[in-house]
Structure 1
Amino acid sequence: MPVNTGIDTEEMLPLPAGAVHEPSSWGARHAHDPTVVRDDDGTYYMFSTDAVANTRDIPSGVHVRTSADLVGWTYVGTALGEVPEAAAAWSGAQGLWAPEVVRWPTGEWHMYYSASTFGSNTSAIGLAVAPSPSGPWEDRGLVVATRKGEHSQNAIDAAVAFDAGGNPWLTYGSFFSGIYILPLDPGSGLPRVAGDLGSVIARRPRSVEGAVEGAFILRSPQDGRYILFTSYDSLFTTYNVRVAVADHITGPYRDLRGIEMTDVDAPPAAVGTKVLASYQFDGGTAWLAPGHNSVLTQKGPDGSDEHFVVHHVRFAAEPSQHVVQVRRLFFTAAGWPVISPQPFAGLRSEAVPAPAEVAGTWQVLRFDPESTDIAPAVRMDLKCVEPRSAEFRGHPIAVRLRPAGPAGKPGTEIDAVVFGSWDWSRNRPALSFSGIDQRGVAWSGTREPPL
């Protein structure tokens, strides 16, 4: 039966139109291109693109929210309440986009913000520095700048990754000629070589308008490989998250089928392993165009690292409204990242109350890389291949699953992780899984009651 846990299920619904002028009612709504960090006192800070720019009551700029638990969010204002002078002069931007916030080895916090206008690659990424995520933020000027007619790159959507030696790297890029990476100075956070625009690590052909952006690199905790997350296709309707891996931070990045992310001769929809896209569970909200993710890594209750994908998504019933969602990220036995089909509700809320058999009837999503439709959950039976009688006892487990019925091609086996979750459709703790089959197709699902 549904239980009352105090979780705000209204967060899964769009706000009335008039609420756009009431930040106290937003929660995680009216935000996109998010990044989340955790301060020393345990407070989470979310930084995002302003999704209500140029309204009369809300200043444009990098919007900031806080949370104690990654579930409930409170709008607390705007960092860098105006476009810094150098970025404004270069780009003509009226607001700031896609902030990346990271703790620097020096102990300061660095914010890499983007300044541009829609559809133009006359763009700039700037750097601001603060003693804590709460600010105050001091602008340090431009890091990377590109200009229409002079450069092929587009200097927006910054993200920072550290290689195995602790050296910082900046990834950036949106449409145009793709995603680029360049080394940063570990002291200043500026390019190691002044004026360096980096080298390309992902791109798409002109037939799809070069639609790749929102990159983020995570070093795998299992094998040390570098995992590249990117968002494909239209921000407004068909956004989806794809992944690839590389032995070196500069690439080459290859998807599960071995296709390089710079291959513009392969069919555009075939490149990159699609791990999150539009979907709907039976009786639940239809979610449209999830993407532009970052990853939060922190120590879990047992002292090991736990990972969360942070991304924005649209309500299919009201596509003009965004909301940020946080989802648990796991790694399959083969080392591939997979994302929970259910937004995070807190570890305590997601605790399955008793041991549960994995084999059984599930509501299953299949993220067809060729499809741009909202993936519907399909009721199907899943069998355990390895181990044959898997039982969930409170901690994520790696399994191999075999789907029954027409949705699964003969011989399909899914390299998956099974974990506790919160079923937002039924308002109850549940068992979920996410995995990837041998053809590079991602599957996710939630176990039907009773467990």
Structure 2
Amino acid sequence: MTLLEKLQPALTTGPETWGARHAHDPTVVRDDDGTYYLFSTDAVANSANIPAGVHVRSSPDLLEWTYRGTALDGVPEPAFEWSGAKGLWAPEVVRWPSAAGENRWHMYYSASTFGSSTSAIGLAVADKLTGPWEDRGLVVRTLAGRDSQNAIDAAVTFDRNGDPWLTYGSFFSGIHTLRLNPETGMAQSPEDLGTCIARRSPDVDRAIEGAFIQYRAEDDRYVLFVSYDSLFNTYNVRVAVAEEITGPYRDVNGADMTDVDTAPHAVGTKVLGSYRFDGDTSWLAPGHNSILTVPTGESGVEEQFMVHHVRFAEDATQHIVQLRRVFTTAKGWPVVSPQPYAGPERETLASAAGITGIWRVVRFAPGSPEPVEAQPMTVHDDGAVTSAGEPCRASLTLSGDGVDAHLDAVVFGSWDFSRNRSALSFSGIDEHGVVYSGTQGA
């Protein structure tokens, strides 16, 4: 029985039964008491009675989610008057430090209608993640026929100096980023639409959106995550890096993310796409991600999670939020687990296992939008590495299924959902900039 079949009886029930289902464009933040809150687009397909105003869920462990209602009571008046939106999209929630040392929460929400660039990003603030949220008005707004940008899909990054930036954009002229006022959270320069940092060719309908920039202090670089193609069936996540938040952002092969002359699917390093293991649930169109950073244990070591939505290929009208652990290779590139997060207990093996052997591997071909079926391949490591689940960087060699590849990879513990067991997984990038991900076992 696939996961979709297990969930099917509850798919049409009320919000109290949703868990992580029916959530688009998610972001997760951690409160001071350790509770996690998930904010997402408030629209649900074929459900006319779902309330508008940004959906909120909470969880003690990133695994079980409880619906908590909406953050706002519908669409705030300034956003509605500008865009005519009936619901709010793609909320971004961040902890906002004040000059007095106190923390407040800022929520940047999007208001638009499908296919239109008459759009706005608004700001609401609250002292607690549970609200109440107070609307502060519009931060960025775009008008069809006047502006080439599209003001939706907000993400906030604090740069190396601690200054806030807003990154946004969907289709049209691509992804832009602009300075925010650290006191107010509004645009530093009124009516500033920012600098273009990524875009795509008209040949593919300029299909790029859902951007998120992470500043990595350990190597003093900015990592850009973006989603390519259609949210309905071909979404996939690409990455690129830059020395400055305004770019240029380049992929593993050095291609600039604003390059529209190179083949559209050859720009951006594809780290996650549609796939399936062992004939189990086929995960379709993963995308619109954010990155959650969580300190773990007394050492303060941080774990990184990609938060994204994904569809069931067996019924693409249904979707769910997933979290996946994110790791950094020896060469400094982010890679993503091929298995959804299942908690530390499940992702720790009973004893250390060697890496060399048969694994089931997916290859995220940059030019193919089709779901990838995991194939058996032989994996060799360069140092007889063993692991019980703790992440370790490794140079791996893959062979089989017509593949002969050498990977800059990370090996880590995971929960093998198709086989219901703890197992080692890996994700890595070959010398051509192609990402492979796999889970151990023939």
**TM-score bin (small chain):** over 0.9
Amino acid corresponding to residue 415 of structure 2 in structure 1: W
Aligned length: 437
2:441 to 434, 441, 448: 448
The equivalent of 1:403 in structure 2 is 398
Aligned to 2:216: 220
Q: Could you tell me which amino acid in structure 2 is paired with residue 62 of structure 1?
A: V
Aligned mates of 2:171, 2:259 — CA distance in 1 = 15
Alignment of 1:259-298 (within 5 A): 259-298=255-294
Shift of residue 54 of structure 1? 7.6
Partner of 2:41: 49
For 1:330 and 1:401, the matched residues in 2 are separated by 16
Q: State the alpha-carbon separation in 2 of the partners of residues 331 and 142 from structure 1.
A: 36
Spell out structure 1 runs of 4+ moving beyond 6 A. none
What is the CA distance between 1:12 and its match in structure 2? 5.4
Does the aligned pair in 2 maintain the 1:13–1:315 contact within 8 Å?
Answer: no
Distance apart, 1:380 and its partner CA: 1.0
Q: Aligned partners of 1:176 and 1:233: how far apart in 2?
A: 13
> CA 1:11–1:50 in structure 2 vs 1: closer, same or farther (change >3 Å)?
farther
Write out aligned runs for 1:2-41 (5 A): 13=5, 15-16=7-8, 19-41=11-33
Is 2:419 aligned against 1:426? yes
Identify which range, 17-26 or 162-171, moves more after superposition. 17-26
Aligned twin of 2:253: 257
Q: Cα deviation per residue 1:5-26 (whole Å; 9 max; x = unaligned)?
A: xxxx986557447743411221
Query: In the alignment, which residue of structure 1 is the partner of 2:54?
Result: 62
The worse-fitting range, judged by mean Cα deviation, of 399-408 and 132-141 is: 399-408
Instruction: State whether structure 2 residue 189 is matched by structure 1 residue 196.
Output: no
For the 8 Å contact 2:375–2:401, the answer to whether it is kept is no
Q: Please say if residues 14 and 318 of structure 1, whose CA atoms lie closer than 8 Å, have aligned partners that are also in contact.
A: no
Return the offset for 1:60: 1.8
> Aligned letter for 2:439?
T
Confirm or deny that 1:351 pairs with 2:343.
no
Question: What is aligned with 2:160?
Answer: 164
* Cα pair distance change 1:439/1:66, threshold 3 Å: same
Structure 1 SS opposite 2:403 = coil
Matched, 1:79 2:66: no
Gaps of 5+ in 2: none
TM-score, length-scaled by structure 2:
0.96
1:5 aligns with: none
Separation in 2, partners of 1:353, 1:370: 39
Q: Contact 2:79/2:85 (CA < 8 Å) preserved in 1? A: yes
- Deviation of 1:81 after TM superposition, in Å, equals 2.2
Contact 1:396 1:419 in 2 (8 A): yes
C-alpha deviations, 1:321-369, integer Å up to 9, x for none? Answer: 1100000000000010000000000011111110100111101011000
Is residue 306 of structure 2 the alignment partner of residue 313 of structure 1? no
2: CA distance, partners of 1:170 / 1:396: 32
- The whole-number CA distance in structure 2 between the counterparts of 1:97 and 1:362 is 39
* Residue equivalent to 1:174: 170
Given that 1:241 and 1:275 are in contact with CA atoms closer than 8 Å, whether structure 2 keeps it comes out as yes
The answer on whether the counterparts of 1:20 and 1:52 sit within 8 Å (CA) in structure 2 is no
Normalising by the residue count of structure 1, what TM-score does the alignment of the two structures yield? 0.94
